[in-house]
Amino acid sequence: MTTVKACLFDLDGVIVDTAVYHFQAWRRLANELGFDFTEHQNEQLKGVSRMESLDLILQWGGVTLTDAEKLDWANKKNQWYLDLVMQMTPNEVLPGVTAFLILLRENGIKIALGSASKNSKLILERIQMLSYFDAIIDGNNINKSKPDPQVFLLGAEATGCQPAECVVFEDAVAGIQAAKAGGMRAIGVGSAEVLTQADFVISTFEEMTLGRLNF
């Protein structure tokens, strides 16, 4: 087994739980358009890009908009979302994440972000995690969504590592599929019943050790 030289992290659901803020902002959009959707439906939006999320939500509400109107609503949603993001604090970093990133740094393992979000740098700044990352690949750098491996292949390249030397941490099924499609190992963060294609699944980073990385 090739030694791991880089760890690639998804953002929402792995480093921090911004899904609750996305839900609030998308729900406001739906309500203003005259319908509602559930937290259960919101699960389907995890890891999905902004415009693809909007298309799904409009489909749920049976609402048709022009491309210009869609862009306008997506911008409104993003502003509402950012209002919530601006109130985030470092206390919101998920359990065990900071200690694990420090451990990786101490052992010379590269750290990269691989997120669909166009707001990732702002979020990392708010939670004071920006300095841990050697590379950030996010919604601003990609034109193909997970399960396409693009975001992680660019992450591997940015750290100067081969895909086989990388481990991806992901909370979304499409993210695990993206890692696998890119020839990388994939550790799920969340439920083993959902993330069935992951090599293994952790509930939180408190379960991670260096030994578990080189499996």
Residues at the site binding Mg ion, with contacts judged by CB under 5 A: 10, 12-13, 47, 171-172
Fill in the DSSP letter of residue 93. B
- Smallest distance, Å, CB 25 to ligand B16? 9
Least CB distance to ligand B16 at residue 122 (A): 9
Q: Is 149 in the site for ligand B16 (CB under 6 A)?
A: no
Residues in contact with ligand B16, total (CB under 6 A)? 19
Q: Toward Mg ion, which CB reaches closer, 165 or 171?
A: 171
Within 36-65, the residues that bind ligand B16 by CB under 6 A are 45-50, 53
Give the whole-angstrom CA distance, residue 138 versus residue 118: 6
User: How many H-runs (helices) and E-runs (strands) does the chain carry?
Assistant: 9, 6
Q: Which is nearer to ligand B16, 33 or 74 (CB)?
A: 74
**What, of ligand B16, Mg ion, none, does residue 150 touch, CB below 5 to 8 Å by kind?**
none
Alpha-carbon gap, residue 142 to 30, rounded angstroms = 27
Is residue 10 part of the annotated active site? The answer reads: yes
Across the beta sheet with 200-202, the strand order is 135-137, 110-114, 6-9, 166-170, 185-189, 200-202
Question: Could you say which of 6, 119, 155, 165 contacts ligand B16 (CB under 6 A)?
Answer: 119
CA distances from 207 to 103, 165, 211 (A): 13, 21, 11
Q: Which uninterrupted H or E stretch holds 13? A: none
22 binds ligand B16 (CB under 6 A): yes
| 10 contributes a contact to ligand B16 by CB under 6 A | yes
User: CA torsion sign, 138 to 141 to 145 to 151?
Assistant: negative
Among positions 11, 57, 136, 153, the unique one binding ligand B16 when judged by CB under 6 A: 11
Contact call for residue 165 and ligand B16 (CB under 6 A): no
**Cβ pair 73, 54 in contact under 8 A:** yes
| Residues forming the site for ligand B16 (CB under 6 A) | 10-13, 22, 45-50, 53, 78, 115-119, 139
Provide the annotated active-site residues.
10, 12
